[in-house]
Structure 1
């Protein structure tokens, strides 16, 4: 346990982590009880916060990912569903349609010429977590 807290602080100094993510990184270095104790201490000292981690992640990835992908990734990092919903609502992100247009322009730049190209562009945007309705709207606008 002696080296768990400094190790956790070093990890947090590099970037924000969720509690679950930090627990996973610390687990090889101590017992589950010791890790939980250190994480609770860090949360009580306000050095560890899932909400702050979610805000940081949304700031860095929000402009190029859709809400579904952002939500899925945060869930995978162990952030609670209520925290995700609150942080997404509070995030200062452009609307989904604007983000799709920006990402599409950066990646492709020219309208799809055939059904195969249309499908390729749609798959790319869908892999980034954008909804099919938004993707169809943007690609339809481009075809006109």
Structure 2
């Protein structure tokens, strides 16, 4: 299962694109640039809202790619668990080998599949919101630029 790697790649890509768009929008507020023409509170407000939405989108992408190590729970839960690397790190090789020989791994494996599916589902929701918000903000910024330039 490579669930988290795929969604992490999407999140990293989304964060990169969103950061570039936000940086470009902010840099276009410099003198003699398109967003330097923002001359009324409504236009300025629309720009600031669009930039803020882009920043939120980037934050959601960062939250999606952030590792979920469950540090507090891992130490206590490692006594009878060893499939998750956070649990396995608390074992020594000899005790882990003995536990692997006698334990029924199916229950641990299915538990890990359920936990990973929940983590991956949450990551997908975050990146879905991130992409939706970024797309909306990018369209809004494009419309604002067209209006400033041609209207």
Q: State the TM-score, normalizing by the size of structure 2.
A: 0.28
Larger radius of gyration: 2
Structure number with higher relative contact order (C-alpha < 8 Å, ≥ 6 residues apart): 2
